[in-house]
Structure 1
Amino acid sequence: MKHLLTFACLISLNVFSQSPFNSESTAVTRADLTTNVFEKDSTANAVVLYELGKSYVDKKSFKLKTEINKKVKILNRNGFNQSTIIEYLYDNGQRRETISNIIATTYNIEHNNVTTTSINKNEIFEEKYNNNYTIVKFTLPNIKEGSVITYSYTLESPFMYKYKEWRFQDEIPVLHSEYHTSIPALWDYNIKLVGFQKLAVNDAKIQRNCLEGGNGAYADCTNSIYVMKNIPAFREEDYMTTKDNYLSRIEYELKVFKNFNGNVENLTKSWKTTDSEFKTDPELGRQLGKSGMLKELIDHSLKNEPNALKKAETIFNYVQTNYTWNGKYEIFKDVSVKNLIKNKSGKVSEINILLHNLLEEYDIKVKPVLLSTRQNGLPTQLFPVISEFNYLIVQATINSKTYLLDATDKYVSFGELPFRCLNQYGRLLDFDDGSSWIDIAPDKVSVVHHKAELSLDDNSLISGTIDSKSTGYHAMPLKESFFGNPKAHLDHYENKFTNINFLDYNVSTTDHSSFDFDESFKIEYQTEQVSNNLYINPFIFKFFTENPFKLQERSYPIDFGFKDTFAYNMKIIHSDAFEAVEIPKEEMFSLPNNKGTVTLSSKAQGNEIMVYFKISFNDALFDPTYYNALKIYLGKIVDIQKNALIVLKKK
């Protein structure tokens, strides 16, 4: 239903010093409608002006209720998607979450009048998402550039262990986000604040006798208020793990449940208890150490190999080569090493449990490690939340040195992990001495090194060879590309460098799992000539063609995953017909605290010109306070590779 309102009905609140918007309530003011820019973030398509959530236990039904109220300003057409609201309601087959009291209104200014358009019940849709979730979805009507939308609804849940989390941060800026919770003393939660934004308000008070259990039994409640203000939009960028690691929010994990009759149920266990359960778990613990069928897999004479490292590498190579990962991450469901051996294909857990058992069978000291992949999020370290782990690898100890192993990837070398595993830390399972956290970090630096030996003839044609060596995580995608399709691999270079003729190409690496990948190019190309001058950019292959860091600020870490170094050597020999009149200027700069260095040097001597360029990143993980420094650092690197020139003059 659409109707007109006069501006008198929209009494403007006091204009706030920092923003013309009303960020203190869902009341729509004149300024909310007439202000169509957000000065703090000119790239914003919409802004959450105000949102309020209230979660509490209903005194009659003992169900968890959450009331949600929200007001959003639509700044332009790219913000129209904010008018579609989706809620996922959980259903375990016996009980389900519900939604009610949906009220949604769009405010516009039309012909100098304020119009409101409310949603009808027949515009609210419900559909089955999967076996456990139903989607409730609605889109506010009459959305235009400049619209303000408000909506509210109530969620009801019978699952107290799933206390409603609250997300303060979104993909658009949020001016005011407020969450009120009332938690009876019967339920004891681990409460975790995630993200890098700070709370403006964090208050808690005890409310006596807030919940009645009958027969004179009562429970107190802890009533808390959490507020964040002026929260920047979360924008994804290169060199990050999943955004769920960084979006500012409050999460709840039920630890202890008490009945009114005094019975206590511990739901969040200690790691000591969890380790004991893992040991007897049929999907994990009982699969570990199983030696049935293993003796038939590898020549038993390997037992007599005196070199323990060589023995371990042979076993690793066997599993890596003969068993294929089916792409599934499940580690606690339907795990069967027997099926893996039969089908030659299986889950992460099955492949690496087989690796674990074979190494143990051949007297290598091993332990399983649980971790969460980069796209799955960081597991909490405060208490065991087993559902946060989705991956299993193996730690092998050989001659007092530890190696982290994963045989699911055909292109990793012994002691390397696939890039997806580089997520800071994992949980080492030790069923004798207890589990512990360990760092998941490569111990080797990954390198890219190009060495160009070139010559310039009298016709301004440059020819020669480029030898390229890539190691570690820089080598993996190249190995996968080349061994997957050698022709397509070379075609990629020819399509990327259209001004270069590739006369010959050779790869000396023959092993898929080699730490190195060595390739050599024989090339020729014509130089740029203006009058009697030749202009040569020495960087035929560039490490960075553009700056990956473009945000004004970044509130989450810069996670490269590994330390790396880039090096470029070029030598060009020219004929006596030319003389060098300009070579790149020497440069040297670094990141704060020596976390990265750049060196550029050049020299002209006789008929030879030599250029050396080296970039180092000495850390894999950078705090967001380094963002501006990294942005400047990468900007200078891109400029050097783009603008460096050798100028030769024809005599």
Structure 2
Amino acid sequence: MRCALFTATLFLLSTTLCVAQKGFPEPGKIDKADLQMTDCDFDKGAEAVKLIDWGKVTYAYILRNLSGFGTVYERRVRIKVLKEKGLSKANVVIPYMSYSDYEEITKMEAWTYNLDDAGNVKTTKVSKSSIYKKSINAGISEMIIAFPEVKVGSVIEYAYTMERGPALHINDWNFQDNIPVKYSEYEVSIPSFLHFKVNPMVTDPMQTRSEEARGAGELNPSTGVRETTIKKFYSMQNLVALRDEPYMGSMNDYRQRIEFLLTQVEVYNNDIVDLQTSWTQVVEGLKKSEYFGQQLEKQLPRTIDLFEQWKAIPDPLARMKTVFQYVKEHMTWDDQETIVSYDGVEKAYAAKTGNSADINLLLINFLNQVKVKADPILFSTRKNGLVNTMYPGMDQFNMVMAHVAIGNRYYILDATDKSGSHLLIPEEVVNTNGFLVQGESGKWLEVLDDKNKYKIFSAVHAEIDMNGKMTGEVTVNSSGYSKKERCKAWAKNKDEFKKQYFMQGAVPISLEELEVNNVYADSLPLEQKAKFSSVLNRSGEYTYFPVNLFAGLDKNPFIAEKRVSDIEYGFLQDFILVGNYNIPDGYSFDALPENISLLMPDKSIVFNRFINASGNVLNVRMTLEFKNSYYPVADYPEFREYYKKLSAALDEQIIMKKK
């Protein structure tokens, strides 16, 4: 192959760690003006700003483990800390694939810059003992940097070299980050025998330029000429931060970035090999893989009696539920999302812990062993980002789950989630697409659910005394995804559960009793019964009390005038709030809110409020239905205006006055 003619010259060039890039101060040196900066001039109020974000990719022979042709990736980042919140940017963690030494960070340097009391620049180089590696699992490790003397006003900088091999592909590059970026540049040196499709995903101006350089190696015997390398430079500047927004999907889908897809390689005699794979090839590779398909065939020790016990369950659905429950209870997830079982299901089963692939491939293995047909289904979760179905590749996915078809319906099972139910598609992937590894070619599957909703029913009975104190009882029934959310919160921290769901709102609430039922009953709503009290707001002879209680609707998350991302709830939603309020003799209700109906123009959100007073008793019923799980950003002005009216209607208080 022509690849074999690439020479050690490129290797030597690529291992020089971040020499001073044109127009940049050298690593370890800084302009005093950067330390005197107190705000970002193009994104006011930012907690920190990236002054420099520079990357470079070259191709070379990776000699450390005889892995052959690969890439050398250089990175340099310099960050100015502007506010207390920005101090978290000094917690630098660089993940890499350490399995079989596929990736290795070969060089690393870091510095902290400050101004001393006399106004002089003080540079502190991070010691080698403060830069260390941490193994996460058999496949992933992290390089961690502990920066010294970091405070508001500091600048931190780190630079490293990472070798990857064998490898031909080029990392994508994110120009934009969750803090503003003053200057970002990506330099790629591509040998002429590699053909890439380059896809800029940008809205702001991006500068590009190219240089052609002759290789310094041997002659190509098939052409009689030396290889050439095309250097391409991509840069952007003054990029405002991409900040997290309420009900945002994946930030990765909205970053300004550039993507690289290797499409062809020229080989001997100028023949061209097409590298664009198909989903059929992806399925074939997965089934043959030691870290995926082979794990589904593993015969685990000490499971024969267990399998025989499960096989004796006549109903396939009951059998599936039993196996699912067993794996959830037996295994503990290590919080690593992946489709690769690095250590294998046997080792994970023995240790009772593993990554998402270990656990869910084990589940699929067990289900098939007891004659419940199960197949792997691959997902990119909502937070991981969208999959480009036009470019087949396993690296787009971050989760594998079990797909089971019984009768006329299917189930998506994720045994990493101990609160998961077979009745609910996991919330991270519901109403998205999954790739089902089934048959020779696999297929894309829309995992939709318009029956199970995020549903809350709240019933309040309360009395208000003449001193403005409300006391009462509430029953909240949470169904579907609301139950799933609350069961997780209840299991994690019961005190925080009480604060989050019963002690927040328009008035301070004291919780006196709380009883929670049906946590483990899949087919029943989560029942929460509480006794509460609250001291209400008063002004002269008037007392005010809210009726929007215990449903989590007391805040408007959509107050920002502009938004860059779609609104992704993930599921449909239903809220029903009923209330019965008694006031003391000698008092009356003053100017009750009107009965109203609010509809989005497309009728995708419907709100109704009915209020009726009879003597000293007030009855309230409010219903809110979201008929869509997704609202595009193009409709945000309309959505925001509707939500403003909705919040005003929900928060309108009842006025009690003395006769």
Instruction: State the TM-score, normalized to the length of structure 1.
Output: 0.73
638 and 295 in structure 1: CA distance in 2 versus 1, 3 angstrom threshold: same
**TM-fit CA distance, 1:559:** 3.0
SS of aligned partner of 2:333: coil
449 and 238 in structure 1: CA distance in 2 versus 1, 3 angstrom threshold: same
**TM-fit CA distance, 1:312:** 1.2
User: Does structure 2 conserve the Cα–Cα contact (< 8 Å) formed by 1:161 and 1:253?
Assistant: no
* Match of residue 296, structure 1, among 308, 317, 328: 308
Q: How does 1:101-140 map to 2 (within 5 A)?
A: 127-130=131-134, 135=143
How many aligned positions are there? 611
In 1, distance between residues paired with 2:565 and 2:464? 48
1:200 corresponding residue in structure 2: 205
**TM-fit CA distance, 1:179:** 3.0
In 1, distance between residues paired with 2:353 and 2:52? 51
Q: What letter corresponds to residue 378 of structure 2 in structure 1?
A: L
Matched, 1:426 2:434: yes
Matched, 1:615 2:624: yes
2:13 corresponding residue in structure 1: none
In 2, distance between residues paired with 1:341 and 1:164? 34
2:287 corresponding residue in structure 1: 279
User: Does structure 2 conserve the Cα–Cα contact (< 8 Å) formed by 1:479 and 1:512?
Assistant: no
**TM-fit CA distance, 1:570:** 1.7
User: Does structure 2 conserve the Cα–Cα contact (< 8 Å) formed by 1:582 and 1:648?
Assistant: no
**TM-fit CA distance, 1:415:** 3.0
* Match of residue 42, structure 1, among 41, 44, 50: 44
SS of aligned partner of 2:613: strand
The CA deviation string for residues 601-628 of structure 1, in whole angstroms up to 9 with x for no partner, is 4233454423233333333334344555
Q: What letter corresponds to residue 581 of structure 1 in structure 2?
A: D
User: Does structure 2 conserve the Cα–Cα contact (< 8 Å) formed by 1:580 and 1:647?
Assistant: yes
Tell me which moved more, 483-492 or 448-457. 483-492
In 2, distance between residues paired with 1:345 and 1:38? 45
Q: How does 1:492-571 map to 2 (within 5 A)?
A: 506-507=515-516, 509=518, 511-514=520-523, 516-522=525-531, 532-549=541-558, 553-571=562-580
259 and 612 in structure 1: CA distance in 2 versus 1, 3 angstrom threshold: same
User: Does structure 2 conserve the Cα–Cα contact (< 8 Å) formed by 1:201 and 1:225?
Assistant: no
In 2, distance between residues paired with 1:126 and 1:261? 51
163 and 598 in structure 1: CA distance in 2 versus 1, 3 angstrom threshold: same
User: Does structure 1 conserve the Cα–Cα contact (< 8 Å) formed by 2:333 and 2:353?
Assistant: no
**TM-fit CA distance, 1:546:** 3.5
* Match of residue 438, structure 1, among 442, 445, 460: 445
SS of aligned partner of 1:393: strand
In 1, distance between residues paired with 2:162 and 2:516? 62
SS of aligned partner of 2:168: helix
Matched, 1:476 2:484: yes
The CA deviation string for residues 208-249 of structure 1, in whole angstroms up to 9 with x for no partner, is 856754242434544434333442112234434554454333
567 and 116 in structure 1: CA distance in 2 versus 1, 3 angstrom threshold: same
423 and 281 in structure 1: CA distance in 2 versus 1, 3 angstrom threshold: farther
Q: How does 1:243-392 map to 2 (within 5 A)?
A: 243-252=251-260, 254=262, 257-258=265-266, 269-288=277-296, 293=304, 295-298=307-310, 300=312, 302=314, 305=315, 311-321=316-326, 323-328=329-334, 329=336, 331-333=339-341, 348-349=356-357, 352-353=360-361, 355-356=363-364, 366-374=374-382, 376-392=384-400
**TM-fit CA distance, 1:332:** 2.9
In 1, distance between residues paired with 2:494 and 2:83? 47
1:451 corresponding residue in structure 2: 459
**TM-fit CA distance, 1:175:** 4.1
**TM-fit CA distance, 1:344:** 7.1
In 1, distance between residues paired with 2:524 and 2:325? 15
Among all aligned residue pairs of Structure 1 and Structure 2, give the percentage whose two residues are the same amino acid.
21
Q: What letter corresponds to residue 401 of structure 1 in structure 2?
A: R
SS of aligned partner of 1:298: helix
Q: What letter corresponds to residue 315 of structure 1 in structure 2?
A: M
* Match of residue 404, structure 2, among 396, 419, 424: 396
User: Does structure 1 conserve the Cα–Cα contact (< 8 Å) formed by 2:606 and 2:626?
Assistant: yes
267 and 124 in structure 1: CA distance in 2 versus 1, 3 angstrom threshold: farther
User: Does structure 2 conserve the Cα–Cα contact (< 8 Å) formed by 1:412 and 1:515?
Assistant: no
Q: What letter corresponds to residue 583 of structure 1 in structure 2?
A: L
User: Does structure 2 conserve the Cα–Cα contact (< 8 Å) formed by 1:428 and 1:436?
Assistant: yes
Q: What letter corresponds to residue 392 of structure 1 in structure 2?
A: V
Task: Give the number of the structure whose alpha-carbon radius of gyration is greater.
Answer: 1
In 1, distance between residues paired with 2:471 and 2:144? 64
1:172 corresponding residue in structure 2: 179
Q: What letter corresponds to residue 174 of structure 1 in structure 2?
A: V
User: Does structure 2 conserve the Cα–Cα contact (< 8 Å) formed by 1:566 and 1:615?
Assistant: yes
In 2, distance between residues paired with 1:505 and 1:104? 52
SS of aligned partner of 1:319: helix
2:16 corresponding residue in structure 1: none
Q: What letter corresponds to residue 46 of structure 2 in structure 1?
A: A
In 2, distance between residues paired with 1:554 and 1:453? 39
User: Does structure 1 conserve the Cα–Cα contact (< 8 Å) formed by 2:191 and 2:228?
Assistant: yes
**TM-fit CA distance, 1:416:** 1.1
**TM-fit CA distance, 1:296:** 0.8
In 2, distance between residues paired with 1:31 and 1:520? 60
1:409 corresponding residue in structure 2: 417
Q: What letter corresponds to residue 391 of structure 1 in structure 2?
A: M
1:19 corresponding residue in structure 2: none
User: Does structure 2 conserve the Cα–Cα contact (< 8 Å) formed by 1:372 and 1:390?
Assistant: yes
The CA deviation string for residues 378-399 of structure 1, in whole angstroms up to 9 with x for no partner, is 5553434334434322223344
Instruction: State the TM-score, normalized to the length of structure 2.
Output: 0.73
In 2, distance between residues paired with 1:623 and 1:587? 27
2:3 corresponding residue in structure 1: none
**TM-fit CA distance, 1:537:** 2.1
Matched, 1:647 2:655: yes
SS of aligned partner of 2:424: coil
SS of aligned partner of 1:297: helix
**TM-fit CA distance, 1:173:** 1.6
User: Does structure 1 conserve the Cα–Cα contact (< 8 Å) formed by 2:611 and 2:618?
Assistant: yes
2:66 corresponding residue in structure 1: none
**TM-fit CA distance, 1:39:** 4.9
Tell me which moved more, 613-622 or 341-350. 341-350
User: Does structure 2 conserve the Cα–Cα contact (< 8 Å) formed by 1:48 and 1:72?
Assistant: yes
**TM-fit CA distance, 1:429:** 0.9
* Match of residue 584, structure 1, among 570, 578, 593: 593
User: Does structure 1 conserve the Cα–Cα contact (< 8 Å) formed by 2:331 and 2:349?
Assistant: no
181 and 512 in structure 1: CA distance in 2 versus 1, 3 angstrom threshold: same
RMSD between aligned residues: 5.1
The CA deviation string for residues 467-493 of structure 1, in whole angstroms up to 9 with x for no partner, is 322111211233345578989967987
SS of aligned partner of 2:459: strand
User: Does structure 1 conserve the Cα–Cα contact (< 8 Å) formed by 2:460 and 2:473?
Assistant: yes
193 and 605 in structure 1: CA distance in 2 versus 1, 3 angstrom threshold: farther
Structure 2: where are the runs of 5+ without partners?
1-21, 64-68
539 and 483 in structure 1: CA distance in 2 versus 1, 3 angstrom threshold: same
621 and 579 in structure 1: CA distance in 2 versus 1, 3 angstrom threshold: same
User: Does structure 2 conserve the Cα–Cα contact (< 8 Å) formed by 1:483 and 1:512?
Assistant: no
User: Does structure 2 conserve the Cα–Cα contact (< 8 Å) formed by 1:70 and 1:152?
Assistant: yes
**TM-fit CA distance, 1:156:** 7.2
User: Does structure 2 conserve the Cα–Cα contact (< 8 Å) formed by 1:570 and 1:612?
Assistant: yes
User: Does structure 1 conserve the Cα–Cα contact (< 8 Å) formed by 2:456 and 2:551?
Assistant: no
SS of aligned partner of 1:544: coil
SS of aligned partner of 1:437: strand
Q: What letter corresponds to residue 297 of structure 1 in structure 2?
A: Q
SS of aligned partner of 1:584: coil
The CA deviation string for residues 345-388 of structure 1, in whole angstroms up to 9 with x for no partner, is 76644654565466657776543212244555555534343344
In 2, distance between residues paired with 1:74 and 1:321? 48
Matched, 1:182 2:189: yes
